[in-house]
């Protein structure tokens, strides 16, 4: 097993728990995790996921900045909200189109191991991270789908620690969705 992968997985676990708790401290852990995962995924020939880590680095910096400026709840966590119907549709269509286009490019121009599944994971991850940086509850729904797909893909590529991490992420994403929805219910009561 690659020690870098295990360290990245441990950092990722801390990161996602802190996100679910709506803590600003998730960002330092997220930045360290994505930096290490760039190299892990590149070595595994999961190029979409490798390139995605560069995006995640930038979105973590943006998210940290945005969350610092956001309204805080009485419990100390960040305020969260829903997308409206129209925004949901736009994000869904945009994510699907980008994922298919990226998968076609990876299939045609690289030796990617699983170009379309990898691209779908990448596309949904980008959208989820953007939405999470904006504190949107729907980010968790996408992360649940990403975690389910990624668990199998990473296992098939021999990234056992990462596969286990994404299985745990799946459970935490379910918890995050419920927790963020409860926060919204309490805020509107």
74 pLDDT band (50/70/90 cuts)?
Answer: low
Looking at per-residue pLDDT, the higher value among 33 and 162 belongs to 33
68 pLDDT band (50/70/90 cuts)?
Answer: confident
40-58, pLDDT tens digit by residue? 989 988 887 788 899 899 9
pTM of the predicted protein model: 0.84
- Tokens representing residue 48 in the block: 């979409």
72 pLDDT band (50/70/90 cuts)?
Answer: confident
Are 17 and 43 in contact, with CB atoms under 8 Å apart?
no
């Amino acid at each position: 097993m690659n020690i870098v992968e295990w360290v990245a997985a441990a950092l990722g676990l801390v990161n996602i728990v802190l996100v679910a708790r709506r803590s600003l401290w998730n960002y330092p852990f997220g930045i360290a995790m994505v930096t290490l995962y760039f190299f892990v995924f590149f070595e595994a020939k999961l190029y979409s996921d490798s390139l995605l880590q560069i995006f995640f680095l930038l979105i973590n910096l943006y998210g940290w900045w945005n969350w610092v400026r956001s309204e805080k709840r009485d419990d100390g966590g960040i305020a969260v909200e829903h997308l409206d119907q129209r925004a949901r549709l736009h994000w869904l269509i945009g994510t699907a189109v980008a994922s298919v286009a990226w998968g076609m490019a990876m299939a045609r121009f690289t030796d990617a191991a699983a170009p379309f599944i990898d691209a779908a994971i990448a596309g949904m991850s980008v959208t989820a991270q953007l939405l999470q940086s904006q504190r949107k509850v729907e980010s968790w729904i996408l992360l649940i789908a990403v975690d389910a797909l990624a668990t199998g893909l990473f296992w098939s590529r021999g990234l056992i620690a990462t596969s286990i991490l994404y299985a745990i992420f799946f459970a935490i994403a379910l918890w995050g969705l419920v927790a963020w929805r409860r926060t919204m219910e309490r805020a509107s009561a």
